[in-house]
Amino acid sequence: MNTPTPVLRLENIVKTFPGVRALDGVSLSVLPGEVHALMGENGAGKSTLMKVLGGIHQPDEGQVIVNERPVVMNGPLEAKALGIVFIHQELSLAEELSVAENVYLGELPTKGFGRVDWHELYQKTDAILAKLKVGFDAKTLVKDLSIANQQMVEIARALTVEAKVVIFDEPTASLTDAEKRVLFDVISDLQANDVGVVYISHRMEEIFKITDRISVLRDGQYQGSVATKDTDEEGVTQMMIGRKLDLTRKESNHELGKIALEVRNLSSGKAFNDVSFQVRSGEVVGFYGLVGAGRTEIAETLFGLRNKSSGEILLNGEVIDVKSPRDAIEKGISLVPEDRKGQGLVLGMNCRDNMTLPQVDDITAGPFVAEGAEIAIFDQYRDSLDIRTPGWKQDVGNLSGGNQQKIVIAKWLSMKPNVLIVDEPTRGIDVGSKSEIHKLLRKLASKGLAVIVISSEMPEVMHVSDRIVAMYSGRVTRTFECGEVTEDNLVQAISGVSKLA
């Protein structure tokens, strides 16, 4: 059997940004009907390479070859016309428009005199949505959808054209397991129709489940490709970071301290109800549940972003009333929020200023911000979290997704909190840094910090927590002590099954 001709080839692509050589002579080919994983550390150049493919960036050097013909693309619509469809890492939807308008943005079906044919638009969109088995319709406004559902709208976009190549840039970062399954079905449909799929993700289990071939980038350079069945997690990690990863959890034998945070019968509207738990200093408590289980809302209430309707919060044994984030910060509570672009960062502001924003009132010399002290903080956390950026002056929006997330984490660690709440802390973070962050959370706990980790990734909560609070639909279903938890009983606890028993 001879190998099929690639639908797409990239040859020696070079792309530089001021201060960064993001792509340094990368070549890659995508075959029809294959799912091709693109892997690499945060900032390795994956998104940039795909943006070159999607017509968003023009390469400085090198060629894009579609169906054996070199092409030059001056924008995403030109790429789409060639059959290249791109689902972005960062959501890029028009929030005020309907789902249908977003799905067909730029190419709405028309009837005479350029009028939009709404009937056809809604019909075609609903047909696609049916395939995706989502719970909303074509007329819904995008701003009314959850992040996960917005992601599904992005995916729906890919199904509007006769695609030859579909690029998924970390599509599952905010999807639930059920939504993931639907996505994987969509991908195997595409595959069956001889579409080439490029799939970027930091989640190893997905990579080994759905991809046929893995290509790896490191620091903008192509490291090679392997058939997925010929390698394993360790092998890929080795290619990505050039060394083996130490995944063992260092058991520190530190004593747990006093109860730092206690929540008694806390409720907030419909979001969650009658929630009670304790976190000792020195302890990591994981919150596990499906999206919508109310975990984020609990965090927001603890951080003064949401009003409680009843119940009480105790900090070091004293009842406290947190009216605003400022209150929470002054009491030593930090929150790493789940949506880095919307809640975590000010895009357009540089890395340093983003990192020190919550404490800008405190690092002063006279009436002025002490910029030297700020830079010192930045340097410290850039080194300890291995944040890849040319310098503190870089606009945080120019950092890769994972490095942006690290800036948010650094921002809240540098507040030296007593209680640290992290909501999906490793979303979009590469395997190496992920284990670094897990180690860091354990280390902080061993120094007496009380840590709450909210995560939708089971391996993450199981790995990092001392105890796990399982939630379903706004209620705590079970609290697992250390050693009690297994995958099975955890799944049960968050699906509401155990309530029947």
Partner 1 sequence: MLRLSKDEAIRFLGKQGILAAFVIFMLVFALAEAKFISADNVLSVIRSSAIIGVMALGVTFVVVSGNLDLSIGSMMSFSTIVVLDLHDKIGPVLAILAMFSLTLLLGALIGFLVGYLRLNSLIVTLGMLSAIHGLTLTYSGGKNMDISDKSSWFSFFGQDSVMGIPVPILIFALLAALLGIILSKTPFGRKIYAVGGNGTAATFSGISRSKTVFFCYLISSFCVATAGLIQASRSLGSQNTVGQGLELEVLAAVILGGASLLGGAGTIAKTVVGVLMLGFIQNGLLLMGLQFYVQFVVTWVIIILAVWLDIAGKRGKLWSPLA
User: Are the C-beta atoms of 103 and 354 separated by less than 8 Å?
Assistant: no
CA dihedral of 152, 237, 401, 15, whole degrees rounded to 10: -110
- Residue 59 CA to residue 147 CA, distance in Å, equals 31
445 near ligand ATP, judged by CB under 6 A = no
> Token pair 């390479």 is at which residue?
49
- Residue 93 CA to residue 97 CA, distance in Å, equals 8
Query: Whose CA is closest to 413, among 332, 338, 351?
Result: 332
| Closest distance to ligand ATP from the beta carbon of 486 (Å) | 31
Give CA separation, 1 vs 4, 166, 442, in Å: 9, 25, 52
| Closest distance to Mg ion from the beta carbon of 462 (Å) | 26
Residues within window 74-113 making contact with partner 1, judged by CB under 8 A: 75-77
The secondary element (H helix, E strand) that includes residue 9 is strand 8-17
364 near partner 1, judged by CB under 8 A = yes
Member of 55, 76, 220, 401 binding Mg ion (CB under 5 A) = 401
6 near ligand ATP, judged by CB under 6 A = no
Residues within window 377-396 making contact with ligand ATP, judged by CB under 6 A: 388
369 near partner 1, judged by CB under 8 A = yes
142 near partner 1, judged by CB under 8 A = no
Specify the residue, 151 or 267, whose C-beta has the smaller distance to ligand ATP. 151
Member of 22, 28, 159, 166 binding ligand ATP (CB under 6 A) = 22
Member of 85, 152, 261, 399 binding ligand ATP (CB under 6 A) = 399
Interface map 387-426 toward partner 1 (x if CB under 8 A): ------------------------x---------------
Give CA separation, 174 vs 79, 147, 170, in Å: 26, 7, 9
- Residue 92 CA to residue 479 CA, distance in Å, equals 38
| Closest distance to partner 1 from the beta carbon of 376 (Å) | 17
Query: Whose CA is closest to 191, among 1, 7, 46?
Result: 7
Query: Whose CA is closest to 58, among 7, 13, 21?
Result: 13
372 near partner 1, judged by CB under 8 A = no
Name the segment binding ligand ATP (CB under 6 A); options: 44-52, 75-83, 331-339, 379-387.
44-52
46 near ligand ATP, judged by CB under 6 A = yes
Query: How many of the chain's residues bind partner 1 (CB under 8 A)?
Result: 32
Query: Whose CA is closest to 180, among 208, 159, 152?
Result: 152
492 near ligand ATP, judged by CB under 6 A = no
Name the segment binding partner 1 (CB under 8 A); options: 7-15, 144-152, 174-182, 345-353.
345-353
As to burial, measured by CB atoms within 10 angstroms (0-12 exposed, 13-18 middle, 19+ buried), residue 446 is: middle
373 near partner 1, judged by CB under 8 A = no
First to last CA, the chain: 56
The secondary element (H helix, E strand) that includes residue 312 is strand 310-315
Specify the residue, 399 or 468, whose C-beta has the smaller distance to ligand ATP. 399
Residues within window 295-324 making contact with partner 1, judged by CB under 8 A: 305, 324
212 near partner 1, judged by CB under 8 A = no
- Helix or strand or coil: residue 107? coil
402 near ligand ATP, judged by CB under 6 A = yes
143 near partner 1, judged by CB under 8 A = no
Q: Which residues bind Mg ion (CB under 5 A)?
A: 47, 89, 400-401
Q: Which residues bind partner 1 (CB under 8 A)?
A: 56, 58, 60, 75-77, 305, 324-326, 328-329, 335, 337, 342-349, 353, 357-358, 360-361, 364, 367-369, 411
